[in-house]
Amino acid sequence: MRGLLEVNRVNVNKSQRAFAAVTLITTVSIAFVLVVYAALLGTINSTGYVNVGGTGGKVYYSLTNTETSTAWQNSLGSVTPISQSDSWYAKMNTTSGGYIGQATILWELKQSTDGGSTWGSAVGATVSFTYSLDGGVQTIYATSNGAFAEPGNRDWHSNTGYGTGLWKVEVTITTST
């Protein structure tokens, strides 16, 4: 009888171990399913969109480097070309409702040799600086920091090589990272 009792104890121990193993596997499986299910609950589909506004603006040109000058125009020499020896300057007015934060402002001088259809970059004719945009209308000059400076505003004539033709200044604004 003692031998039978020992066999029963071994069988009970094996059954308890098997039960514990099955319970553990089942618990882990259920926990895994709950974790996956919880992750799926975190996915939210959107039917809308976010419209992120940029910064718009316009470049103006002047033959005089004066902050309050009314001589700032959309273009220079459109009726009669300006002299090759004339200094000329550029500024940009941003539009309201644009980007708020630090941005890099890049000014590039470009020349067209085909009457304005295509524009190429002039080598070495750039101004770049970091500037704080406030989302409103701002006047930004081609200086080392965007503020008006006399004589610090870039005289673009010095980069045209006294060449004839069409020239423009293009401004690119990118977010600073």
| 74 lies in the same domain as 156 | yes
| 24 lies in the same domain as 100 | no
Which residues form the domain of 163?
57-175
Q: Give the Cα separation of 103 and 132 in Å (integer).
A: 6
Residue 27 resides in a domain? yes
pLDDT tens digits, 103-149: 888 888 888 888 888 888 766 678 888 999 998 899 999 998 989 98
Q: How many domains does the chain have?
A: 2
Enumerate residues 6+ apart whose C-beta is below 8 A from 63.
71, 76, 82, 86, 87, 88, 89
Over range 1-27, report the average pLDDT: 63
Residue 124 resides in a domain? yes
| 98 lies in the same domain as 140 | yes
Amino acid present at 31: A
Residue 52 resides in a domain? no
pLDDT tens digits, 34-87: 444 444 444 444 444 444 456 788 888 888 888 877 888 888 877 677 777 888
SS3 49: coil
| 1 lies in the same domain as 86 | no
Residue 76 resides in a domain? yes
What is this structure's pTM? 0.65
